[in-house]
Structure 1
Amino acid sequence: MEDLIFLDLKKPSKADLQKGLWAFISISYSREQADSHMPAIGEVHSLRESSRQISLKALSDANADDSVGLLARYARLLTSMGSRFGTAVDEALRRTEAQLAFTWNDALRPEAKCTLSQLGFERACAMFNLAAALSYRATIQNTADADGLRAACQDFQHAAGCLDAAVGSAAGTRWATYKGLTLDVRPAAFEGFRALMLAQAPLPAALFGAEPALC
């Protein structure tokens, strides 16, 4: 398995998740509940800030696992918030000064950026970055032996699963058809990247001992 291809990371700009989420809970529920949830809100904000510091230049054999774990944790939190609040958080924050805006650069053309307030957009971008980190980790596995080959193929398959989740975040949403959306997070691009990941993971299922699961 030579010349394996990984995805580049998208770079997010700062976003005050702590202020924005506190405002949403305060408006939708109460100030008391918003205050009581400050530790959890702070955790989400800290995770995003930590994930912003990850770059491909910083990834290595030593910290690739930690980076994948951190990005996965942030993506799971966004998924949980999306399941609980839906688009209510977006609608509420449009009516306040604490509007939560997310800005991400294009992974293929870093000079291009897109800013949207939708939490689903943030989740799709986070899923993209998790897929990128998984695809990078796949390329540094030792594919000369069966264990390394298995690990690389699983990472590519999990990356494809994350891109599937990104497509799900975009399905039926207004932001997915926004004209200013960067090319790398359009639904067709997610599908193309997913196909690329799977094309690099043609490992026979027999080597897994079971059918591998996508993330």
Structure 2
Amino acid sequence: MEKLILVDPKEELCNAFRAAFKDDYPKVEVVQGFFEQLPEFDCMVSAANSFGLMDGGVDLAITNFFGADLQYRIQERIIKGYRGEQPVGTSFIIKTHHYKHPYLAHTPTMRVPLRITRTDNVYKAMFAMLLAITQHNESSGKDKINTVACPGLGTATGGLAPNEAARQMALAYHNFYNPPKKINWNYATQRQRDVGFGGDFFG
């Protein structure tokens, strides 16, 4: 992937993106607006639910833009590949059949529409999306994904504050592109401290 476009109509979220991703320019671009207005991208990220029900928010806009058939094919993939429920923390690439924007990354941030404010769901979803795109590019030959358009994850129904959503997304981006040379408990503990969520709180 050569460029990540973070696209969202909310000014506060875009400002949070700019602050969180400030060290990753020019590979990360922030656009305040709607993905339908972007002149160029290879893959759109669907901040989805686990069942591929795309009838609200950005998912509805995606269905309206790419056609209802995409939703049906996504649900077929979830049934065949995930036994009917795609876990948060996974992402898959599917063709859109659009002449200009050929791919979509179906990336659940929640099982069903609900608030995810005290979870690491956005971190897991962002990391999974980057992994799915990288694996696609490693195995696709010439049909690589170079430019990805991604909305704010977990910021609508999920209820995450802009700063927290941007923090989790930027942390996942940084961690994905800076893998360790070795793994030990010091590394694992620091990674968990950085993410901040993912289990019960003690103390």
TM superposition score normalised by structure 2: 0.30
Q: Give the helix-richer structure, 1 or 2.
A: 1
Q: Which has the higher contact order (CA 8 A, sep 6+)?
A: 2
TM superposition score normalised by structure 1: 0.29
